[in-house]
Structure 1
Amino acid sequence: MLYYALIFLVIAIIAGILGFGGIAGASAGIAQVLFFLFLVLLVISLIAGFIRRT
């Protein structure tokens, strides 16, 4: 999932450089959502790991 966030970030950067504002904004938004979703899943995984260990 982090891979997809990075892909959309690269698409947003390239589209921003080329001047496609709408595409860049949409890609950056998708990358941001995927990144925060990845962080939430990481935190849940860490908490589950600590609970399972004790």
Structure 2
Amino acid sequence: MLRWALIFFIVAIIAAIFGFGGIAAGAVSIAKILFFIFLVLFVISLIGGLVKKQ
């Protein structure tokens, strides 16, 4: 999932360079959503791993 966030981030940067505002805004919003989903899943798996060890 982090891979998709990075792909959309790169698409947003390229679109911003070429001046396509709508495409850049869309790619950035998708990248942000995927990043936060990845972050939440990471924290849940980290907590699950710590609880399982005990």
- Consecutive unaligned residues of structure 1, counting only runs of 5 or more, are none
Please tell me the residue identity of whatever aligns with 1:4.
W
- C-alpha distance in structure 1 between counterparts of 2:8 and 2:44, whole Å: 24
1:10-49 equivalent positions in 2, closer than 5 A:
10-49=10-49
Please tell me the residue identity of whatever aligns with 1:33.
I
Residues paired across the two proteins, number: 54
TM-score, length basis structure 2: 0.98
User: In percent, how many aligned pairs have the same letter?
Assistant: 59
- C-alpha distance in structure 1 between counterparts of 2:4 and 2:13, whole Å: 14
- C-alpha distance in structure 2 between counterparts of 1:53 and 1:29, whole Å: 36
Aligned structure 1 segments of 4 or more residues deviating by more than 6 angstroms: none
Q: Which deviations, in whole Å up to 9, do the C-alpha atoms of 1:34-53 show, x marking residues without a partner?
A: 01110000000000001111
- Consecutive unaligned residues of structure 2, counting only runs of 5 or more, are none
TM-score, length basis structure 1: 0.98
